[in-house]
Amino acid sequence: MEVVIAPAEQLAVLAADAIESLVRSNPATVLGLATGSSPLKVYDELARRHEQERLSFARVRAFMLDEYVGLAADHPERYRNVIDTEIASRVDLGPGAVQGPDGLADDLPAACAAYEAAIADAGGVDLQILGIGTDGHIAFNEPGSSLASRTRIKTLTRQTRLDNARFFDDDVDRVPTHCLTQGLGTIMDARHLVLLATGPHKAEAVHQLVEGPISAMWPATVMQMHPHATVLVDDAAASRLQ
Ligand code: F6R
């Protein structure tokens, strides 16, 4: 596992560099996209390179990590809409190029299986962007998640709902209780994992991720077993590293 400690702006440039080099060498790259605050500067940088440096995503396909269950199709916090706003609409990703788990499906387990099949049909994810929860989750694999898990329905912990209440008028009761999420096994199949974490509230999770024992109670620790994982952290998030 490679750990890079740098200011947040530089971390975003490094992540964008990794994505740009992949896309320039293979225009049909398959990207894995995360929502939340952590990747926003990366998306800004990719949009800038698209605008100013002719970086094209026209043949790229992308898969989202997760989705809330039951949020209305036009809800601004539905992850599908967040990804459209933050990145897809700002670059030249083609129509239908971004897929996510269908949190509005009548048959949620079937939607999870279909999502796994779609990722496999695309040839797997070349580079997966990740954030980390304060409780060590990646995607919405909360503590206790099987390290071999695949896309499935999960209950969000109280902590994650409190952490995400900022997107729902600071009202935790408006945060959905369930989600569909890629499993840890699904994420581990991606060929390169790039995790971003900034701020002191991520320090304990980053410490566990990099230095803790591999444990389902800190789900991100599964990344220690990945052959190509990059952890990009600022000083505050790195403050508990030895
Ligand atoms: C989002 C996701 C989550 C977030 C994590 C960190 O798609 O999968 O695991 O990456 O909750 O969120 P932020 O970046 O908002 O601190």
pLDDT of amino acid 178: 97
Q: CA 75, 51, 31: angle at the middle one, nearest 5?
A: 60
Q: For ligand 1, is residue 38 a contact (CB within 6 Å)?
A: yes
Distance, in Å, from the CA atom of 111 to the CA atom of 94, rounded to the nearest integer, reads 22
User: pLDDT confidence of 155, banded at 50, 70, 90?
Assistant: very high
pLDDT of amino acid 131: 98
Pocket-testing residue among 81, 132, 179, 187, ligand 1, by greatest number of atoms within 8 A of Cβ: 132
Average pLDDT, the chain: 97
Distance, in Å, from the CA atom of 201 to the CA atom of 40, rounded to the nearest integer, reads 17
- Give the model confidence (pLDDT) of 131-143 as tens digits: 999 999 999 999 9
Q: Is residue 222 part of a domain?
A: yes
Cα 126 versus chain centre, distance: 13
Q: Is residue 239 part of a domain?
A: no
Average pLDDT over residues 109-121: 98
- Give the model confidence (pLDDT) of 12-67 as tens digits: 999 999 999 999 999 999 999 999 999 999 999 999 999 999 999 999 999 999 99
Q: Is residue 104 part of a domain?
A: yes
Which of the following is catalytic: 66, 86, 102, 163? 66
- Give the model confidence (pLDDT) of 182-232 as tens digits: 999 999 999 999 999 999 999 999 999 999 999 999 999 999 999 999 999
pLDDT of amino acid 188: 98
| Tokens read off for 154 | 């999960």
Distance, in Å, from the CA atom of 144 to the CA atom of 215, rounded to the nearest integer, reads 8
pLDDT of amino acid 197: 98
pLDDT of amino acid 150: 98
The rounded radius of gyration (Å) of the Cα atoms in the chain is: 17
Distance, in Å, from the CA atom of 16 to the CA atom of 37, rounded to the nearest integer, reads 16
Output the CA 66–ligand 1 centroid distance in Å: 10
Range of the domain at 97: 2-233
Distance, in Å, from the CA atom of 80 to the CA atom of 100, rounded to the nearest integer, reads 7
Q: Is residue 238 part of a domain?
A: no
DSSP 8-state assignment for residue 52: H
Average pLDDT over residues 68-87: 97
pLDDT of amino acid 217: 98
| Tokens read off for 20 | 């740009």
Of 36, 22, 138, the closest CA to residue 86 belongs to: 36
The structural domain count of the chain equals 1
Pairing of strands 178-181, 66-68: antiparallel
For the packed helices 8-25 and 40-53, what is the interaxial angle rounded to 10 degrees?
50
Output the CA 96–ligand 1 centroid distance in Å: 23
Per the CB < 8 A criterion, the answer to whether 5 and 235 are in contact is yes
Per the CB < 8 A criterion, the answer to whether 193 and 226 are in contact is yes
Q: Is residue 35 part of a domain?
A: yes
Q: For ligand 1, is residue 65 a contact (CB within 6 Å)?
A: yes
Output the CA 38–ligand 1 centroid distance in Å: 7
Q: What is the pTM of this model?
A: 0.97
pLDDT of amino acid 65: 98
Q: Is residue 240 part of a domain?
A: no
Q: Is residue 241 part of a domain?
A: no
Q: For ligand 1, is residue 231 a contact (CB within 6 Å)?
A: no
Domain CATH number, residue 104: 3.40.50.1360
pLDDT of amino acid 63: 98
pLDDT of amino acid 238: 98
**Is the complex ipTM more than 0.90?**
yes
Per the CB < 8 A criterion, the answer to whether 55 and 85 are in contact is no
pLDDT of amino acid 34: 98
pLDDT of amino acid 5: 98
pLDDT of amino acid 192: 98
